[in-house]
Structure 1
């Protein structure tokens, strides 16, 4: 089997307070940087901030979004997509707010699969650091604000939601350091048919899903019920839905939670709301009042 690998051209970190909303702006990192379970050392992100949980995520799932990887192959494909944009595209490393940019054109949404494991290599020697692809990146509105200024079906966000070209999130299986020039070499591929492009197309490929998922996801956080992607918008068969929902390597947040909900079950943001202290107290008081009224009626008899 041919070696599938990509060279790390640059790495980026966001040195902002953990609860800051921040921007896509990242600063290039020089020298070796430690990569832990929640990402690059001294780099804040949505996943390792409090905003992840207030947006419907669960603490145990933060590692699914430890590192965002973007690659030259995706940028080339976006440039060649013929999008009718209001502003010129300036596609370059860090434009998607990624942590790692791989310069290989062979790295792209159509060639990377969910569950792929990549070993870090340096000067011909394997390093401890290992990644696993957890999901495509589901782009937010900041993508259109920065790239193309087109907030419609012709925009970069809409295009990337359906194609998976906004990058992919990596879990950190083994911690270690990373520097420019390191190679990310594929070491394991458990799901060769589940490319990032295919997963994105099945879940967000329907125009209505791609158009409305941002608004619907906010409603889902509030009511624990609104479907971010409706069952009739899933672009595959029932068999594909069941297989993808059961894929162990697929991230829960923004991906598996929506698939599982289509099957009538609940995980992630769709978990049943716990009854708060106030409703419990009201219920208890109602029961006591009922018992008191019943006892008074009996005493009058």
Structure 2
């Protein structure tokens, strides 16, 4: 049975020299919950979708299409073996450490009932220098990109309560084949895949849809 193995939040921001804003809230720690989850609003003015969770850079993180970040314990175990270090739940900055469900190959637009909340998969996490600095791994952004286990972002379709131990039920799968893994490759390594993201409709963030249309315009003009 797929479950929320751990619900993780940051209750404070920490000053660091590797983040553009000078602070980070990537260090998420497990809490029992339940905590309320709701749509936070547009990126830039909306933070985390989990009440009580802080974000250090509102321009690049949080907002409706990155309201909740999930990462699979199975993928943390993979990296734990690869890196030769212990990785706790929440150490990749994820709000939901899951067990028993594949996030990498989840479909964009797939809907999960988690606790009493309804979440929708919106895309992958894109690695940044804050992520690398927090883990203390040189070349981390390149390595994380090559392995292609990004975890999934979610928007909140129905507000509710989530706690550690809650069951995860997939209640809807859209009729396309745009996965989190494909989205990740399209944005970072295989730009030719970008037009495919439009198949996922409004489950894709407006910023990425704009990127796709800009690329089409450049191709037509060239």
Shorter-chain TM band = 0.7 to 0.9
Tell me, yes or no, if the aligned pair for 2:120 and 2:154 is still in contact at 8 Å: yes
Q: Which runs of 5+ in 2 are unaligned?
A: 14-20, 41-48
1:44 to 44, 54, 71: 54
Structure 2 counterparts to residues 85-104 of structure 1, below 5 A: 88-104=84-100
Quote the RMSD (CA, aligned, Å).
2.7
- Structure 1 residue 164, shift from structure 2 partner: 4.3
Where do 1:1-301 residues align within 5 Å?
6-16=2-12, 21-38=23-40, 39-46=49-56, 51-52=58-59, 62-79=63-80, 88-104=84-100, 106-109=101-104, 111-121=105-115, 127=116, 129-147=117-135, 149-151=137-139, 155=140, 157-205=141-189, 234=191, 236=192, 240-245=193-198, 247-248=200-201, 249-253=203-207, 255-264=208-217
- Name the SS for the 1:199 alignment partner: helix
- Higher normalized contact order (CA 8 Å, seq sep 6+, divided by chain length): 2
Aligned residues: 202
8 A Cα contact 1:113 1:194, kept in partner:
yes
How far the C-alpha of 1:40 sits from its partner, in A, is: 0.9
TM superposition score normalised by structure 1? 0.59
1:103 & 1:74 partners in 2: Cα distance? 10
Q: Which runs of 5 or more residues in structure 1 are unaligned?
A: 122-126, 207-233, 266-301
**C-alpha displacement of 1:175:** 0.4
The structure with the greater share of residues assigned to strand is 2
Higher helix share: 1
Q: Report which of the two structures shows the higher radius of gyration computed on alpha carbons.
A: 1
TM-score by length of 2: 0.78
Change (3 A) 1:241 1:108: closer
